[in-house]
Amino acid sequence: MQDLVTEFRTDDGVVHAVDGVSFTIGAGQTMGLVGESGCGKSVTALSIMGLIDHPGRIAGGHIQFEGDDLVGLEFDEMRKIRGKEIAMIFQEPMTSLNPVYTVGDQIAEMAQLHLHMDRKHAWQHAIEMLRTVKIPSPEKRVFDYPHHMSGGMRQRVMIAMAVSCTPKLLIADEPTTALDVTIQAQILDLLRDLQREFQMSILMITHDLGVVAEICENVVVMYAGKVVEEAPVRGIFNTPQHPYTEGLLRSIPHLGMTSAAKLAVIRGTVPSAMNWPPGCRFAPRCNLRYEKCVDDPPLFDVGGQRSACWLCESGRRATSKRSVKAGEL
């Protein structure tokens, strides 16, 4: 993705949801996309899927996928890629499962459409996919309607649908937020197994830095429609370079915290996407801001990480002593 700009024209003004975002996901890689509510994570994902509808539009940039620029692709061409080459799973499965069809019908339909299977083979494929996502007795469950299943099972069905055409890229938008922690762990294990089996790339969108530590290799941190930091997962936890990333990490409770210890908070709130502050967008909330922050910082290279903070202009910033170990999350 290069300089992606996605905006929504509303009666109240233009919402600059994604404002010049660039990152690359390698084949077979898992990239985490994190950031506070409203920073543009879902809009980034929907832009890749070609699902930005009126009043939204991609106003600039490129999304290169296997040699094609997805920006500006004809509707029919995008339909061939969506579901087949790039698939997406959402936080709440009921928004993408159709309540009036059995789960078998819904997976089989994908196979008929994209893999050109006849009805019989597509139905068999649906059973196989339910087995792949470890749903017990798939020959029976294939006849279930979504509302007959638990939340965790429905999420598995959605994953089965998403991977049924062995996509090259799977986008998972908060796939475990609505689930309890035991089921969440199972779903993450499943995604990891499927990734290995199908050699997919995964874009994992999450609020949860625990999920990031668990499954991502690289992480993009977004703030106010922009990328503020990009780094291998170890770098994000051990040597965060952007004050916002550091703030996110310090706001995680950890075992061994005394009852007197208070969680650090990032003061203030995310500014409005209709009216981003000038210069560094994080500056109004940043304890480290100085004169330079009235200018918009580019992403600086700092030893394998990228950080959009002026303090990183001449190299790595010394960050707080207590780094967060993945095991603490």
| List of residues contacting ligand ATP (CB under 6 A) | 8, 10, 15, 17, 35, 37-43, 56, 207, 273
The least CB distance from residue 173 to Mg ion, in Å, is 6
Of 60, 78, 59, which is closest to residue 68 (Cα–Cα)? 78
Query: 200 or 220: whose CB is closer to ligand ATP?
Result: 220
Report the DSSP beta bridge partners of residue 7: 16, 57
Contact region for Mg ion (CB under 5 A) — 36-44, 50-58, 244-252, 280-288?
36-44
Cα gap 262→275, rounded to integer Å: 32
Q: What share of the chain is helix, strand, coil (3-state, %, to 5)?
A: 35, 20, 45
> Is 47 an interacting residue with respect to Mg ion (CB under 5 A)?
no
203 with 45: CB under 8 angstroms?
yes
The least CB distance from residue 61 to ligand ATP, in Å, is 15
Cα gap 112→325, rounded to integer Å: 46
59 with 244: CB under 8 angstroms?
no
Query: 153 or 273: whose CB is closer to ligand ATP?
Result: 273
DSSP state of 41: H
The least CB distance from residue 207 to ligand ATP, in Å, is 6
The least CB distance from residue 10 to ligand ATP, in Å, is 5
Q: Using CB distances below 5 to 8 A depending on partner kind, what does residue 127 bind out of ligand ATP, Mg ion, none?
A: none
Helices marked H in 9-102 — which ranges? Answer: 41-48, 75-81
Query: 232 or 271: whose CB is closer to Mg ion?
Result: 271
Which residue has tokens 């959009």? 308
The least CB distance from residue 42 to Mg ion, in Å, is 3
Helix axes 119-132, 103-115, angle to 10 degrees: 120
> Is 42 an interacting residue with respect to Mg ion (CB under 5 A)?
yes
Query: 55 or 72: whose CB is closer to ligand ATP?
Result: 55
Q: Using CB distances below 5 to 8 A depending on partner kind, what does residue 17 bind out of Mg ion, ligand ATP, none?
A: ligand ATP
DSSP state of 270: P
Q: Using CB distances below 5 to 8 A depending on partner kind, what does residue 282 bind out of ligand ATP, Mg ion, none?
A: none
Q: Using CB distances below 5 to 8 A depending on partner kind, what does residue 210 bind out of Mg ion, ligand ATP, none?
A: none
Q: Which residues contribute to the site for Mg ion (CB under 5 A)?
A: 42
